[in-house]
Amino acid sequence: MSDLTRLDASETAAAVAAGEVTAREVAGAHLDRIEQTDEAVHAFVHVDRELTLAAADAVDAARASGGPLGPLAGVPLALKDVFTMRGAPTTCGSKILDGWRPPYDATVVERLRDAGVVVLGKTNMDEFAMGSSTENSAYGVTHNPWNLERIPGGSSGGSSAAVAARQAPLAIGTDTGGSIRQPAAVTGIVGVKPTYGAVSRYGLVAFSSSLDQGGPFARSVLDAALLHEVMAGHDPRDATSIDAPVPPVAAAARGELGGVDGLKVGVVTQLQGEGYQPGVQARFDEVVQLLTSLGADVVEVSCPSFDYALPAYYLIAPSECSSNLARFDGMRYGLRAGDDGKNGVEQVMAITRAEGFGPEVKRRIMLGTYALSAGYYDAYYGQAQKVRTLIRRDFEAAYRDVDVLLSPTTPTVAFPIGERADDPVAMYKADLATLPSSLYGGPAMSLPAGLGDDDLPVGVQLMAAVQRDEQVYRVGAALESALQERWGGPLLDRIPELATGGAA
């Protein structure tokens, strides 16, 4: 066959199932691609060729024996290094977990193995998923394959870069305030945050327990839907897991639930206009016109509480991370510093945390600890939760009138590496449009909308009501088809080719 790294996931799975190519050949092609390009991109922090090929061989053996194959059997995948996986380290991008090898699989990893998906390795990320650029990793910066001087988004930037660089047709990230959708937007791929509770968090190292949610990255809406169905489903080991059937997202992505004709789409007033780059706004306006031409009824929707999503999020999430990260103390696993016999237990803990956590993690721990402290809890954390309730009410009111909501995914295209490193507030603003749906808990998708400023990708965001995940896939698939017809093919076909041998 032609270059196996250019096939979509659904195409790869069909070729493996038909015996046109082996899973081992597919895995080998992607491992070679990683070896050729990852010195420039640095999407991965751990790749185990032997382990990957063994997983591929198991798929080939199952096919040879006539056993049933899942819809993604033999398809390679890049896994964000925040999920535990037997046989591989889990670092969460942090020095404090350097070298830790968990003795168990996350539920998501179990489901990948059961489905015959071949995990290529673990991808780089902002430390403990705190960041919007993948610059906050203890293991180096990840680069955007569209322009190696630009960020790939964060915190799941390693996963988005791997898909954009053709190192993997699929990847998994996590989204707390936009960490799937924002990287997808700036690397020109599809990224989905499922309904909160749709994907098990068992084995996902927690940042903010009421917000964290795993989800797919892919080159197409259908591929994302197929991975979504593999990942999702009830898990009794996760108290936040939804005990309900997985919505028919693959059927929606195939167009079996219909297109957008007759659907009502709400354009969120608060998530466009001032603060958005001209190129971003222009691509968004084109998508609005395209939806209208496809038969959608597009209306303006005002959600006034969305203006307060950013400050509310940056009180709630740090508060939860302050509690969740208390377990990393140098006593049980990972880094232990200052244990020279001269220091007591509390001193060892303090030294370990000082050396093990990076600046952004320390900043958020301190913010969260302050917000939860006596005398400040009601004024900060309590007030932020009240704002969250108002945001939820705005969404619920909107979905009584419209089927989906629409906005740009990010205010800007990918910014230069280092540009916002010393300006946390500017960095946080990368998630302006993605934060509201995280605080609400509903599903949201970022879809490539074209090229904006500096000829870099722009994403458009689709949002739907809780457990109506099929709606974002339904609209996303129709938009994707219309946009690609206009472009003459997928947006990723326009990405500059990375030179092999480690040089851009």
Of 111, 126, 291, whose CA–CA distance to 216 is shortest?
111
Q: Which of 94, 133, 137, 155 is catalytic?
A: 155
Cα separation values, 157 from 174, 184, 212, Å: 10, 8, 16
23 and 235 Cβ atoms separated by less than 8 Å: no
Cα 370 to chain center, whole Å? Answer: 29
Which class for 354: exposed (0-12), middle (13-18), buried (19 or more C-beta within 10 A)?
exposed
> Would you call 179 a catalytic residue per the annotation?
yes
- 3-class DSSP string for 329-386: CCCCCCCCCCCCCCCCHHHHHHHHHHHHCCHHHHHHHHHHHHHHCCCCCHHHHHHHHH
Cα 55 to chain center, whole Å? Answer: 24
* DSSP β-ladder status, 297-301 and 118-123: unpaired
Q: In what order do the strands lie in the sheet with 444-451?
A: 44-47, 118-123, 76-80, 170-175, 213-218, 190-193, 444-451, 457-463, 404-408, 264-268, 297-301
Tokens of 52: 């990957």
Dihedral sign for Cα 386, 392, 396, 397, please: positive
Cα 33 to chain center, whole Å? Answer: 22
Give the separation between CA 115 and CA 191, rounded to whole angstroms. Answer: 20
> Would you call 319 a catalytic residue per the annotation?
no
294 and 482 Cβ atoms separated by less than 8 Å: yes
Q: Which of 10, 80, 133, 159 is catalytic?
A: 80
* DSSP β-ladder status, 444-451 and 297-301: unpaired
Buried b (16+ CB within 10 A) or exposed e, 133-171: bbbbbbbebbbbbbbbebbbbbbbbbbbbbbbbbbbbbb
Give the separation between CA 414 and CA 458, rounded to whole angstroms. Answer: 9
Please tell me whether residue 416 adopts helix, strand or coil conformation.
strand
Q: Which of 179, 407, 437, 446 is catalytic?
A: 179
What's at 139, amino acid-wise? Y
Q: Name the H helices within 203-358.
A: 221-231, 249-253, 278-293, 309-324, 345-356
Of 418, 327, 324, 335, whose CA–CA distance to 372 is shortest?
324
What's at 79, amino acid-wise? L
> Would you call 386 a catalytic residue per the annotation?
no
Active site residues: 80, 155, 179
